[in-house]
Amino acid sequence: MIGHVQRNKVKKLLPWVSLVHSVDTLRLAEEIDEQSARLGTVTPVLLEVNATGDPAKHGVAFPAFVHLAEVLTTLKHIRLCGMMAMGPLTSDEREIRTAFERVRELFDETRSRRIGGTDFAVLSLGMSADFEYAVEVGATHLRIGSALYEGLETVSVAHAETKSEP
């Protein structure tokens, strides 16, 4: 699935995913927790931070991140595995680096507080246009779908993997 996860889509989504990258509110986390309980599973999630402060973008504000991360660790049917952020939509290298560095600092702070324990190990940053900067700051996961298909006229899918167990 691409884009923001809506609470009304969680029930249909959970049987098919192994990690939810974009939890950005307590209400969404609670819905995932509730639906995961119904499925008898624990769903790994990443808490999304708004790296740019743009109110039109999804994600938790920097000052609220640590508190919300602490709250998420109390939910029994989700496992907080790390954080995700989108870079600014710009070609300004300095602006991108600054945003990713701020996210990395917040990631390190959260880990130093042991929020999420050893599970809190995923830093998902970068997309096709800015993944190099994400790698430089230590991203463990990248979202580079369009780069994989850029320039391809025809895409043939011979095999698709789906999650076999929750």
35 vs 79, more confident? 79
Q: DSSP 3-state assignment of 35?
A: helix
Cα separation, 106 vs 94, in Å, equals: 18
Query: 7-144: what fold?
Result: TIM Barrel (3.20.20)
Each residue's pLDDT tens digit, 71-88 = 999 999 999 999 999 888
Q: What are the residue boundaries of the structural domains of the chain, listed by start?
A: 7-144
Q: Which helix (H) or strand (E) holds 100?
A: helix 93-112
pLDDT at 8: 64
Cα separation, 110 vs 92, in Å, equals: 28
Each residue's pLDDT tens digit, 37-70 = 999 999 999 999 998 877 778 899 999 999 999 9
pLDDT at 148: 67
Chain center to CA of 31:
16
